[in-house]
Structure 1
Amino acid sequence: MPRLAASLTELHIRKAKPKDEAYFLSDGNGLVLWISPAGRKSWRVRYRLPDGSRPAPATVGHYPEMSLAEARVKAVEVQRDAKQGKTTAGVRKARQEVEAVADEELAAEALLRAEIEHASFRAVSGRWMAEKRPSWATETYRKARLVVDSYLVPKLADLDMRRLETKDVRPVLVEMAKETPQLARKARQYLGSIVDHAINEGLRPDESRLRLDRILPTYRSGHMPAVTDNDGKLGEVMRAIDAHENRVVRAALILAALTAMRSGVVASAQWKEIDLDAGEWRIPGKNPDGTNRMKTGQDFSTSLPEQALLVLREMHERNMGGEYVFPPQARQNSPHLSRDALSKALRDMGFQGEHTTHGFRASLRTLGRERLEIDVDVLEAQLAHAPKDEVEAAYARVKFREKRREVMQAWADYLDGLRVGVKVIQLKHQST
């Protein structure tokens, strides 16, 4: 004998919560309470027609508009009319409501899914980047896209921004900090801004910012890591670069070391900027879209030492007509080598916390002055630091062009000497 279902009570009905999929609670005698993922509670009646068939259950009402007691009465009426084969209003209406309610519930579920997707980290971060894009430089947008798409979205994509908490993002940032500490700090900055965007959209209350300040390990404040006082260590760096298995990354690191140009400028170098015959690299201050290519926004040129020309000619032989000197590597979406590939290479070679690609600028500024006695003004001109005024800028470009060619070849020879372990004779430079 089949076990009879326990009858429902008002308390059971009120406590019934929606789940990921629709489910029902049985009251017995063919009456069930159907609960949709959207939380709608409907009374449905199972019945049998005179030919013995069982059509789809008839929806006879919704809770709380129809009470449990009223639903039980309606269930008896529907089953009686169906058994007698009557096309009464009850059975006819029940059949019509099956389709109407199904459509209504599908619409409600679709709306719920749309609301959840709209509030997801994936969607909010996408709208945040779209809003910021017009005011960002190309490189700023590229880095934000890299961090969000490659590190944050894969871990946080489906999390609801309406309920996002600090504990949800902490493991992601901590894991990033182990491998890419600089990008982890950027990720923390971006997360705070994305949460602010969600607040501005009304998805979160004003006081619901995340506590992100002390999540990451404390790093020494100041400039990026650079070897500035240890010839032996800088020699290790140059030998490791020289032995790097990826020839594109190797060449880009050598160019960064020999010219002291910023890593983003090096990675995006174009052949039309480089004159191999004249040994000159002429860098436009602006990108075609008006954003800065050089930090100052001013056109800049640097001589290319013989060692730099050697690796550039190697790249030219490999180029196959490409626009950029350093083509993108595996899994890189940019049209040229990612500047982060240079920093990653130095970390992988064991120099994390000791030296970065940007650190070659500090190495030239300090060791060029102390070991080679290069004039400070010449160093500042080579590093493309912003002059105090236009007159000084024009003066530096004219006065130091030949001097910079001389000292940058001396710098390249100095690094070559460290690489092979040969003591470099200190060079004296006459005042200009």
Structure 2
Amino acid sequence: MRLSKTMTERQLKSLSKTTACGVVPGLTVKVVKLKDGTVSKYFILRATNLNKVLTLGQYPEMSLSQAFAKAKLWKEKLNAGIDPALEEKDLKSRLAKKQKLENAFTYEKLIYQWIEFNDKRGRWKNKHKTKTQVWEGFFRNHIPEDLRLCPVTDLTPEMFCEALREKWKTMVDTPERILGDSRQAIDWAIRSEIIPPMLNPALIKNGKLGDLLPLERGSGGHEPALLPKRMPFFFAELMKLVPTSQTARCIAFAILTAARNTTAREATWEEIQQDDEGNWLHVIPRERMKVKSEKIPFDRKTPLSTQAMELLREAPRIQDGCAYIFPNINRGSMSPFSRDSVRSLIKRMHDKQKKIDGIGWVDPDQVHAKTGLPRIVTLHGCARATFNTWAKDSSGYNHKSFARDLRESCLDHRNESYQCAYDREQALGDMREVFQAWADFCFQEVKAKDC
């Protein structure tokens, strides 16, 4: 193809009619005469393979040298079958969208601003896992990016339903916690005039979201637990994992102390203390317990059996000042293990056991809503329900009879009868006897195999 003579900047300035630029075939300066007598000059590129004319830019915002460079690049893309004009339009659209999101008051920004507001007011007391950390997990594991980055005023019940529909059917409390916090945060933003008045899209009761979410819910009720007679066998398998698994050690400690999931996972070394007689206790600040100080005016103290203390003595100590007894070393953050880590280990134990006996570690009285099969046990169920069932049946499990109030004290349950208003301490001596008997029971098969 014959090229026109290369145009110069001087020629371009005085140009009065459409003229080819040279250098790049098809590159032309289009001169448009306006009604007021002035002219505008545009760099255009003829794309013969697309049968269209592409506009590169307007002079003088785009210089002649820039036009040559852009025309050469676009020509290469045209030869490769790419429409550079559409590509540029798409890029500008994505950049504009990104800029809009950066400037917008998004759902994610709302949540963190609401948390910061309430943090300053002292609303949340958990020092081991902040509300911010909880929501970092929610955003990471449960909330898709399109919802996270959506401007608050554009949120709809349909978006929440789409994001949480399946979790609503399979998970017990996480979706409700997400929607509950979201509902409060949006109401707060409206009251604070951060956003204009709007129907709260996270409202379930008397809200559209309640009509959209499925009626089927995750299995609630009691946590699946082992029959006490199977606990020694479960414990024997668990103890095989303890030397190489901090998660297994944490589960074993939780069962021996009848601890709640979070209480065990977030246990710290400074909470392991001795009383005046040299007996070891797990002293848990009341704010870390389910029943707070407004109902029980003293910290929770759990007497530690000899087996529980042995677990702690053999636990690896991290030398960089990590406070947690069971830190998640693998992630490098020295944070407590997640609930998912505990659940995953028990699931692996179940799968292994099922290959052996065809049953696994299940609660025969808890049936999965979808499959109709017995549900796999949980840490909470084994540490508390199995313990309580064992403690109530002195004849069946050949131990001393333990009074109901003593069992409730071991579980840190609050009896609502009036005499509890006079409680100022736990029956630690009797509790120590209970936990030692429980540990001896759990270790029956471990001891038998060691002999």
TM bucket, shorter chain: 0.5 to 0.7
Instruction: State how 1:263-274 maps to structure 2 within 5 Å.
Output: 263-274=261-272
Aligned to 1:225: 224
Give the letter for the 1:165 counterpart. Answer: T
CA deviation after TM superposition for structure 1 residue 370, in Å:
2.0
Aligned to 2:195: 202
CA deviation after TM superposition for structure 1 residue 417, in Å:
3.0
**3-state SS in 2 of match to 1:206:** coil
Instruction: State how 1:120-131 maps to structure 2 within 5 Å.
Output: 120-131=106-117
Contact 2:228–2:386, Cα closer than 8 Å, also in 1:
no
Instruction: State how 1:89-238 maps to structure 2 within 5 Å.
Output: 113-114=99-100, 117-133=103-119, 134-138=122-126, 139=129, 141=131, 142-152=133-143, 154=145, 156-176=147-167, 181-197=172-188, 199-200=190-191, 201-202=194-195, 205-206=198-199, 208-209=201-202, 211-213=208-210, 214-215=213-214, 217-227=216-226, 230-235=227-232, 237-238=234-235
Q: Residue 279 and residue 331 in structure 1: after superposition, are their counterparts in 2 closer, same or farther (change >3 A)?
A: same
Give the letter for the 1:304 counterpart. Answer: L
Of 390, 396, 404 in structure 2, the residue corresponding to residue 367 of structure 1 is: 390
Cα shift readout 1:126-145 (whole Å, capped 9, x = no counterpart): 22332343412324614344
Matches of 2:408 and 2:218, distance apart in 1: 28
Contact 2:342–2:379, Cα closer than 8 Å, also in 1:
yes
**3-state SS in 2 of match to 1:397:** coil
**3-state SS in 2 of match to 1:330:** helix
- Is 1:295 equivalent to 2:257 in the alignment? no
CA deviation after TM superposition for structure 1 residue 279, in Å:
4.6
Matches of 1:412 and 1:390, distance apart in 2: 32
**3-state SS in 2 of match to 1:385:** coil
Matches of 1:311 and 1:323, distance apart in 2: 17
Contact 2:238–2:248, Cα closer than 8 Å, also in 1:
yes
**3-state SS in 1 of match to 2:436:** helix
Contact 2:267–2:324, Cα closer than 8 Å, also in 1:
yes
Aligned to 2:239: 242
CA deviation after TM superposition for structure 1 residue 257, in Å:
0.3
Contact 1:125–1:148, Cα closer than 8 Å, also in 2:
no
CA deviation after TM superposition for structure 1 residue 249, in Å:
0.7
Cα shift readout 1:328-375 (whole Å, capped 9, x = no counterpart): 243375643345533443345446844322222222223211244321
Matches of 2:388 and 2:130, distance apart in 1: 26
CA deviation after TM superposition for structure 1 residue 259, in Å:
0.7
Percent identical? 20
Q: Residue 346 and residue 396 in structure 1: after superposition, are their counterparts in 2 closer, same or farther (change >3 A)?
A: farther
Matches of 1:322 and 1:340, distance apart in 2: 21
Q: Residue 329 and residue 163 in structure 1: after superposition, are their counterparts in 2 closer, same or farther (change >3 A)?
A: same
Give the letter for the 1:206 counterpart. Answer: L
Contact 1:263–1:357, Cα closer than 8 Å, also in 2:
yes
Aligned to 1:381: 409
Q: Residue 110 and residue 390 in structure 1: after superposition, are their counterparts in 2 closer, same or farther (change >3 A)?
A: farther
Contact 1:374–1:407, Cα closer than 8 Å, also in 2:
yes
Q: Residue 369 and residue 344 in structure 1: after superposition, are their counterparts in 2 closer, same or farther (change >3 A)?
A: same
Contact 2:144–2:163, Cα closer than 8 Å, also in 1:
no
Of 404, 409, 415 in structure 1, the residue corresponding to residue 431 of structure 2 is: 404
Give the letter for the 1:121 counterpart. Answer: Y
Aligned to 2:72: none
Matches of 1:364 and 1:348, distance apart in 2: 22
**3-state SS in 1 of match to 2:14:** coil
Contact 2:160–2:202, Cα closer than 8 Å, also in 1:
no
Aligned to 2:327: 327
Contact 2:328–2:337, Cα closer than 8 Å, also in 1:
yes
CA deviation after TM superposition for structure 1 residue 53, in Å:
9.7
Contact 2:260–2:380, Cα closer than 8 Å, also in 1:
yes
CA deviation after TM superposition for structure 1 residue 187, in Å:
3.0
Give the letter for the 1:379 counterpart. Answer: R
CA deviation after TM superposition for structure 1 residue 413, in Å:
1.6
Matches of 1:177 and 1:237, distance apart in 2: 31
Q: Residue 157 and residue 79 in structure 1: after superposition, are their counterparts in 2 closer, same or farther (change >3 A)?
A: closer
Give the RMSD, CA atoms, in angstroms: 4.5
Where do 5+ consecutive residues of structure 2 fail to align? 1-10, 22-28, 42-57, 63-91, 351-360, 363-374
Q: Residue 349 and residue 126 in structure 1: after superposition, are their counterparts in 2 closer, same or farther (change >3 A)?
A: farther
Aligned to 1:415: 442
**3-state SS in 1 of match to 2:326:** coil
Of 73, 78, 85 in structure 1, the residue corresponding to residue 35 of structure 2 is: 73
Aligned to 2:50: none
Give the TM-score normalised by structure 1. 0.62
Give the TM-score normalised by structure 2. 0.60
Q: Residue 167 and residue 235 in structure 1: after superposition, are their counterparts in 2 closer, same or farther (change >3 A)?
A: farther
Contact 2:225–2:386, Cα closer than 8 Å, also in 1:
yes
Matches of 2:330 and 2:145, distance apart in 1: 19
Matches of 1:252 and 1:418, distance apart in 2: 19
Matches of 1:348 and 1:179, distance apart in 2: 20
